[in-house]
C-alpha cells in the first residue's frame, strides 16, 4: 500500500477594482458590494461548514479598502453608492429621471437564466420592462414607484448569497412575499446588506486565525508589475507585439515597489501578520518581478501553467517538454541572483477552467466526481515517490452566478468529498512550504518546503529563468499590444510624467500630494486595460473606459494642471460577446 499523497491547493482570488470617484467618494459601479453580499459571504460559509477543508483566499487590498469604506458608510448612515441608496429611498415615485434610468439600466444586468428566470415575480418585472421599452421614455414612464421598489428588492435578493437566502428569515419572507414591497421591507434588506459587509473581514480573519485558510495578497491596486517595470517584458512571450509609443512607464520599478509594500503593510494592519505569499495581478510575472517580490519578503508566488511551459522551453521556445505530469505538479525555486529567493507554484489550467467555465452546466455531483477523478488521475500518473501538489487558482467571485444556486451544491459537495478522501489532502501554500498538511486533525511531516531557517529544500526544482507572462494565454496580450490598450498606456505614461514634475516642484501640500498619489495608484490598476478592446461587451467597455478617463482627469486636477483634450475622447467602444460577459477568461 503506497503512502503517496496528493496535495490540493484551492486558491480563490477575490478582486474588484476601485469603483470610487476618489474626488467625490461616490461609487460609479456597484460590483464591490454586490459580490460582497453574494460571493464573499457564500465562500466563507462553505469553509465554516467544512472545518477539515483548507483553502487560500487571495484578497486584493483595493477590494478590502472598498469593503472597509462601505462598512464605514453603513455605520455613519451616509451611503455614497447611488444604486444602493435607491434601495432605501423613501418615495420612488418622486426620483429624478436619471435615478429612474439608473434603476432600469442596472437591475436587469445579471445572468438571466440563473438570476431572473427562476423567480416568477422578478421575471414578470422583466417582461413588463420589455413590453414598455419600445415606447421609449413615455412608455417607461408608466412604470410606477412600486414597480421600481419591487425591482430594486428583487435585484438585491438575487444578489444575496445562496447561504443567506437559505438561512436568513427576513430574506426568506421577502422572497415568499414576491411583490408590493414596502419601505420597511427595503430598509430591512438594506440593514442586512450592511451587516453582511461589515462582518466580512472579521469573518475571514477568524478562519485565518484558526489555521483553516491562508490569506494572501496582490500588489495594492492590482497593477501588472512586469509591465510597470518594463514594457519589453511582453515580448518574451509575444516577440512581435506592438508596444506603446512611450519607451517605458516612468519610474515603474519604484511604483511596483510602492504597490507591493502598501499591500504588505495593509495586510499586516488588517490581519495582524504579514502575508506569506502573493498572487501577482493576473498571475503576471517576470524574472524582474520575481526578484522584487522576493526582496519584499514574499515566500511564494503563483502564476499560470503556460508561464511554466514557456519558462521550461526557454526564451527560444525550442526545448522539448515531457508530459505535464512530469513537471507541473511541483513548486519551483526562482533564481533571482540575489540573497533573496522565492518559490513559485503554477496553476493547473485544465482543472481551474473546468470549475470556472464547464461545471456550471453540469449536475453538481457529476461535476464533483469529474473533478475528483481528474485529481486521482494526477495521483496515479505522476512519478512514483513524488507527492504531487496541484494548484487550482481561479476567480472566486464571478464564476458562481452562472451556476445554479450560486454554486451552492457544487461547493458543498466538493468540500465534503475532499474532507474524506483517502489520499487527496487540501492544504495552503504556506502549510505546504512549512512541510505539514492537515490530515484528519493530525499533522503529517512532508519532505518538501521551506526548512527551518528560511532556506528552500534542496530537492525542490530550480527554474533558472522565468519567462514573462500571465495566467491568460501565458502572455500579456490582455493588457498590452492592442491599439486601444497601448493608447491607454500612453495616456497613463503622460500623466505619470506630469505627476513626477509636479511632485518634484514641491508645490502641492502634503495632503494634496497624498490624494494625487492615491489617484495615480488607481490609474495603474490592470482592470482598465483588461476591458479595452472590441472583443469585450459594449456596456462594460464604455463603463470602464469612462471611469478610467475620469480617473486620469481627476489626477490632472489634483496636480492642479489642465486636463488634456485627448482624455475626453473614448479609448475603446467594445461590441463583442465574450464568454462569461468578459469578466473571466479561459487560460488557453
Predicted confidence (pLDDT) per residue in 197-253, tens digit: 999 999 999 999 999 999 999 999 999 999 999 999 999 999 999 999 999 999 999
- When comparing pLDDT for 130 and 577, which is higher? 130
Span 432-449, average pLDDT: 47
Question: Does residue 581 carry a pLDDT above 90?
Answer: no
Q: What are phi and psi of 8, to 5 degrees?
A: -105, 125
According to the model, what pLDDT value does residue 435 have? 86
Question: Does residue 260 carry a pLDDT above 90?
Answer: yes
Residue 177's nearest CA partner among 196, 157, 191, 160 is 157
For residue 471, give the 3-state DSSP assignment: coil
According to the model, what pLDDT value does residue 574 have? 75
**Contact (CB, 8 A) for 229 and 250:** no
- When comparing pLDDT for 582 and 31, which is higher? 31
Question: Does residue 455 carry a pLDDT above 60?
Answer: no
pLDDT band for position 336 (50/70/90)?
Answer: confident
According to the model, what pLDDT value does residue 445 have? 35
Question: Does residue 447 carry a pLDDT above 90?
Answer: no
Residue 274's nearest CA partner among 221, 218, 201, 216 is 216
According to the model, what pLDDT value does residue 5 have? 95
- Return the sign of the alpha-carbon dihedral for residues 180, 182, 188, 194: positive
510-523 vs 483-505: helix crossing angle, rounded to 10: 170
Question: Does residue 87 carry a pLDDT above 60?
Answer: yes
pLDDT band for position 528 (50/70/90)?
Answer: very high
pLDDT band for position 340 (50/70/90)?
Answer: confident
According to the model, what pLDDT value does residue 539 have? 79
According to the model, what pLDDT value does residue 35 have? 98
- Contacts of the segment 263-271: beta carbons below 8 A, 24+ positions apart: 263/61, 263/217, 263/218, 263/219, 263/220, 264/217, 264/296, 264/297, 266/61, 266/64, 266/65, 266/220, 267/61, 267/215, 267/217, 270/64, 270/201, 270/205, 271/205, 271/208, 271/215
Buried b (16+ CB within 10 A) or exposed e, 334-363: bbbeeebbbbbbbbbbebbbbbbbebbebe
For the segment(s) 6-15+38-60+201-214+276-463, the CATH number from 3.20.110.20, 3.10.310.70, 3.60.21.10, 3.40.50.450 is: 3.20.110.20
Question: Does residue 453 carry a pLDDT above 50?
Answer: no
Instruction: Report if pTM > 0.75.
Output: yes
What percentage of the chain reaches a pLDDT higher than 90? 86
**Contact (CB, 8 A) for 358 and 402:** no
Total Cβ atoms within 10 A of residue 166: 13
pLDDT band for position 439 (50/70/90)?
Answer: very low
Q: What Cα–Cα distance (Å) separates residue 338 from each residue in 147, 225, 236, 292, 430?
A: 64, 19, 22, 10, 22
Taking all residues of the chain, what is their mean pLDDT, rounded to a whole number? 92
Q: What are phi and psi of 546, to 5 degrees?
A: -60, -45
Span 430-451, average pLDDT: 50
Residue 429's nearest CA partner among 329, 345, 305 is 345
Question: Does residue 47 carry a pLDDT above 50?
Answer: yes
- DSSP annotation string for 282-310: GG-B-HHHHHHHHHTT-SEEEE-HHHHHH
- Return the sign of the alpha-carbon dihedral for residues 528, 533, 536, 541: positive
What is the residue extent of each domain of the chain? 6-15+38-60+201-214+276-463, 483-582
According to the model, what pLDDT value does residue 461 have? 86
Question: Does residue 354 carry a pLDDT above 80?
Answer: yes
What percentage of the chain reaches a pLDDT higher than 70? 93
Question: Does residue 451 carry a pLDDT above 50?
Answer: no
Question: Does residue 452 carry a pLDDT above 90?
Answer: no
Question: Does residue 295 carry a pLDDT above 80?
Answer: yes
According to the model, what pLDDT value does residue 587 have? 65
What lies within 8 Å, CB to CB, of 254 at 6+ separation is: none
Span 31-38, average pLDDT: 98
For residue 344, give the 3-state DSSP assignment: strand
- When comparing pLDDT for 28 and 316, which is higher? 28
According to the model, what pLDDT value does residue 248 have? 97
The x, y and z cell numbers of residue 238, run together, are 509575444
Span 124-144, average pLDDT: 95
Amino acid at each position: 500500500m503506497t503512502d503517496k499523497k496528493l496535495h490540493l491547493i484551492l486558491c480563490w482570488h477575490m478582486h474588484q477594482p476601485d469603483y470610487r470617484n476618489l474626488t467625490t467618494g461616490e461609487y460609479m459601479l456597484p460590483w464591490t458590494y454586490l459580490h460582497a453580499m453574494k460571493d464573499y459571504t457564500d465562500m466563507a460559509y462553505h469553509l465554516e461548514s467544512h472545518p477539515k477543508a483548507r483553502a487560500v483566499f487571495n484578497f486584493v487590498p483595493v477590494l478590502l479598502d472598498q469593503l472597509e469604506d462601505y462598512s464605514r458608510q453603513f455605520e455613519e448612515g451616509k451611503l455614497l453608492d447611488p444604486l444602493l441608496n435607491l434601495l432605501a429611498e423613501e418615495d420612488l415615485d418622486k426620483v429624478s429621471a436619471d435615478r429612474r434610468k439608473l434603476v432600469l439600466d442596472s437591475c436587469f444586468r445579471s445572468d438571466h437564466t440563473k438570476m431572473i428566470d427562476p423567480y416568477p415575480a422578478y421575471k414578470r418585472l422583466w417582461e413588463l420592462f420589455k413590453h414598455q421599452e419600445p415606447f421609449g421614455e413615455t412608455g417607461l414612464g408608466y412604470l410606477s414607484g412600486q414597480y421600481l421598489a419591487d425591482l430594486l428588492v428583487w435585484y438585491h435578493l438575487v444578489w444575496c448569497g445562496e447561504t443567506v437566502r437559505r438561512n436568513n428569515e427576513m430574506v426568506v419572507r421577502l422572497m415568499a412575499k414576491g411583490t408590493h414591497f414596502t419601505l420597511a421591507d427595503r430598509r430591512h434588506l438594506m440593514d442586512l446588506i450592511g451587516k453582511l459587509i461589515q462582518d466580512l473581514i472579521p469573518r475571514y480573519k477568524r478562519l485565518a486565525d484558526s489555521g483553516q485558510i491562508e490569506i494572501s495578497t496582490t500588489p495594492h491596486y492590482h497593477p501588472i508589475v512586469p509591465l510597470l517595470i518594463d514594457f519589453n517584458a511582453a515580448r518574451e512571450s509575444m516577440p512581435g507585439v506592438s508596444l506603446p509609443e512611450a519607451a517605458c512607464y516612468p519610474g515603474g520599478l519604484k511604483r511596483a515597489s510602492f504597490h507591493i509594500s502598501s499591500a504588505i503593510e495593509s495586510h499586516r494592519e488588517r490581519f495582524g501578520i504579514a502575508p506569506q505569499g502573493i498572487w501577482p495581478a493576473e498571475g503576471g510575472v517576470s524574472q524582474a518581478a520575481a526578484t522584487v517580490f522576493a526582496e519584499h519578503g514574499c515566500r511564494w508566488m503563483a502564476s499560470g501553467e503556460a508561464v511554466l511551459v514557456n519558462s521550461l522551453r526557454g526564451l527560444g521556445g525550442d526545448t522539448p517538454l515531457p508530459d505535464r505530469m512530469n513537471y507541473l505538479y511541483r513548486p519551483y525555486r526562482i533564481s533571482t541572483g540575489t540573497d533573496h529567493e522565492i518559490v513559485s507554484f503554477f496553476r493547473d489550467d485544465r482543472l481551474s477552467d473546468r470549475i470556472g467555465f464547464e461545471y456550471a452546466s453540469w449536475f453538481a455531483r457529476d461535476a464533483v466526481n469529474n473533478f475528483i477523478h481528474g485529481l486521482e488521475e494526477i495521483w496515479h500518473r505522476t512519478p512514483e515517490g513524488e507527492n504531487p501538489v496541484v494548484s487550482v487558482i481561479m476567480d472566486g467571485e464571478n464564476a458562481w452566478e452562472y451556476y445554479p444556486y450560486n454554486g451552492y451544491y457544487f461547493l458543498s459537495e466538493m468540500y465534503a468529498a475532499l474532507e474524506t478522501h483517502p489520499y487527496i489532502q487540501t492544504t495552503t501554500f504556506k502549510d505546504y512550504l512549512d512541510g505539514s498538511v492537515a490530515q484528519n486533525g493530525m499533522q503529517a511531516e512532508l519532505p518538501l518546503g521551506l526548512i527551518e531557517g528560511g532556506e528552500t529544500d534542496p530537492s525542490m526544482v530550480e527554474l533558472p529563468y522565468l519567462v514573462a507572462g500571465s495566467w491568460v494565454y501565458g502572455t500579456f496580450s490582455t493588457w498590452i499590444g492592442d491599439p486601444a490598450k497601448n493608447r491607454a498606456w500612453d495616456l497613463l505614461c503622460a500623466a505619470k510624467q506630469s505627476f513626477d514634475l509636479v511632485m518634484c516642484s514641491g508645490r502641492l501640500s502634503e495632503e494634496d500630494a497624498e490624494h494625487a498619489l492615491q489617484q495615480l495608484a488607481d490609474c495603474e490598476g490592470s482592470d482598465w486595460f483588461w476591458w479595452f478592446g472590441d472583443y469585450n461587451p459594449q456596456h462594460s467597455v464604455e463603463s470602464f473606459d469612462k471611469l478610467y478617463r475620469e480617473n486620469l482627469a481627476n489626477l490632472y486636477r489634483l496636480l492642479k494642471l489642465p486636463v488634456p483634450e485627448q482624455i475626453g475622447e473614448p479609448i475603446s467602444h467594445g461590441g463583442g460577446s465574450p464568454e462569461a460577459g468578459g469578466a473571466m477568461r479561459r487560460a488557453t
